[in-house]
Structure 1
Amino acid sequence: MDRDDLRSRIADQFSYRGQRADIWRGFDLVLDTDAFLNLGYSPWYLPHVVGSSQSRLADEVGTRLAAALPTTDGVRLLDVGCGRGGPTDHLADRYGVDAVGVDLVPYNVRRAARRPADASFVVGDATRLPFVAGTFPACTAIDALVYVPDRAAAFGELARVLEPGGVLVCSDLVAAPTLDDAERRTVDAFADAWDMPSLATVDAYERAVDGAGLAVRTVEDLTAHSVGRFRRWTALYLRLASAFGGRPLAACLRRVGLDPAAVTEQIHRAHAALPHLRHVVVVAERPAAR
């Protein structure tokens, strides 16, 4: 897929333009997508749809950030792919960071900027960040870099804007470590349906981080507490979509202004791919100058 075309598709999806944005309009009915666009995190005892799993994922990132830094109070933080600002605000409020969020989609930044918070927000490309080198002691990217076709360039930019000794914590969706040809086609079909480039394996992801001159400290698998739970919901949706020829569900979706065919296609692609997806959180550091 052409990168400019992908950028346009991503902008359309998150600006609520076109049929592929309907899935997000549907999520608006049950999730806090006005602020959060990430996959979320839920402990075993807490169903994923109870409470704000999306803010809990921001906490998972914040906890690791706090463990890697002497203090977070007043520390300048760049949140790359900030979406609608929920995670950035959450990190600023809970961990006391001086946060700025950057996102490719102007619509997201406008919504983020309307939030009553101390964080600031700017439009920018993760592969060409609008900041001078060595500006930030800390950077985060919460389920955002999965949308960036050139991961090497994104990690290169993160390494550039981090000060020596600075810390990066990112969560992201990756492909399972070993896929046969059929499974890779399934994952690629899912990525295309959701306007993502081809998903990297966690090993390839680590290599991209390392290739940017960042030292990977830890890689943790969150799958069991996030995408590992999603298939029960996609299965339920697909059962409803097939019941009585799908007419009752289609009527309900149309009633709230959603395109049943578009929504069902994306959920079908996700359902098929979920067994082959992983959700990870990576902590890396820009080595200190000698």
Structure 2
Amino acid sequence: MTSVADHYRRSNALELVTAALDDIAPDGRQLTLDELAGFDHFHTAGAVATERMAALLSPTASDVVLDAGCGLGGPARHLADRFGCRIVGVDLTPMFVEVGRLLNRRTGLDELVDLRVGDVTALDLSDASVDHAWTQHVAMNIADRAGFYAEIRRVLRPGGRFATFDVIDGGGGELLLPVPWATEPHQSHLVTRDEQRRLVTGAGFRVDVEEDPADELLPAMRAMLSEPPTNGLTTATFIDDIETKGPMYLRNLAEGRTALSLLVCTAV
């Protein structure tokens, strides 16, 4: 049985990304986030969705933000670059963290963005130790959803904000596989919109913003799938058969089998 971490693992990913970065900047100069072109944002609509969430979270330069399930750290670097805040990113997949640390160094953001290997349902962080938290397209791989939200609440200070952007169960029928986050049924753990709200409030959050951003974000997602990158930085480095999984994901959305949910909550 393939684990969630194995689903995303590619043995030569670091070498492929290093070569692509060296092609962009053969002199070893510092890269801009624009030069990464959103490659490091593993969720619907990529950097477009990150920008939308960042505006809602809006941390200050003195804040510490937890990025739970940080992937390659693209959203974390966006927050650090835009707001000057410090980010602690945690992800279960060691290769993601290794590549993310390389990207931190090459973009000059390694002092603000701290990426760590870890389990977001059992964080190695003290109670009330972060000011805000966010997660994008992570909870759908987590079976213990209640435990996940409770752990986010534990490490978040009272009054801190928690933003989450996820794929949820749209109620339109069984999930069609494969999709970018799952090739086998046991890897996907979707909940309905009502279930998500119940779980979040049950963990100690007040929901302040609740949106279905599909109409706003899906055009960007379709563009990402139809316009392959020309610089060697591609999600295919980490997700095999994305040519099948991407369109299947859009089909699930179109048929109402899945939906999108964006929440911004306050820890109470």
TM exceeds 0.5?
yes
> Which string of whole-angstrom CA distances, capped at 9 and with x for unpartnered residues, describes residues 96-130 of structure 1?
21111111111111111112312111111111011
Equivalent residues in 2 for 1:117-136 (5 A)?
117=109, 118-136=112-130
> Which string of whole-angstrom CA distances, capped at 9 and with x for unpartnered residues, describes residues 7-51 of structure 1?
x2x22232226xxx9xxx9xx9xx9575221212xxxxxxxxxxx
- Structure with the largest fraction of helix: 1
Which segments of 5 or more consecutive residues in structure 2 lack a partner in the other structure?
21-35, 227-235
Residue number in structure 1 paired with 2:42: 37
Aligned CA RMSD, in angstroms, stands at 3.1
Partner Cα separation in structure 1 for residue 139 and residue 123 of structure 2: 13
For the residue of structure 1 that corresponds to 2:207, the secondary structure is: strand
The code of the aligned residue for 2:8 comes to F
| TM superposition shift of 1:189 | 6.5
Partner Cα separation in structure 2 for residue 96 and residue 204 of structure 1: 35
Q: 1:92 to 1:193 in 2, by over 3 A?
A: same
| TM superposition shift of 1:159 | 0.4
Partner Cα separation in structure 2 for residue 233 and residue 127 of structure 1: 31
Matched, 1:92 2:80: yes
| TM superposition shift of 1:274 | 2.1
CA contact (8 A) 1:35 1:84 kept: yes
For the residue of structure 2 that corresponds to 1:266, the secondary structure is: helix
For the residue of structure 1 that corresponds to 2:148, the secondary structure is: helix
For the residue of structure 2 that corresponds to 1:99, the secondary structure is: strand
Q: 1:268 to 1:222 in 2, by over 3 A?
A: closer
For the pair shown, the structure with the greater C-alpha radius of gyration is 1
| Aligned match for 2:206, one of 185, 191, 215 | 215
TM-score between the two structures when normalised by the length of structure 2: 0.74
Residue number in structure 1 paired with 2:183: 193
| TM superposition shift of 1:279 | 1.8
| Aligned match for 1:63, one of 55, 63, 73 | 55
| Aligned match for 1:175, one of 145, 159, 169 | 169
The code of the aligned residue for 1:193 comes to T
CA contact (8 A) 1:227 1:274 kept: no
The code of the aligned residue for 2:43 comes to N
Which segments of 5 or more consecutive residues in structure 1 lack a partner in the other structure?
41-53, 237-256
TM-score between the two structures when normalised by the length of structure 1: 0.68
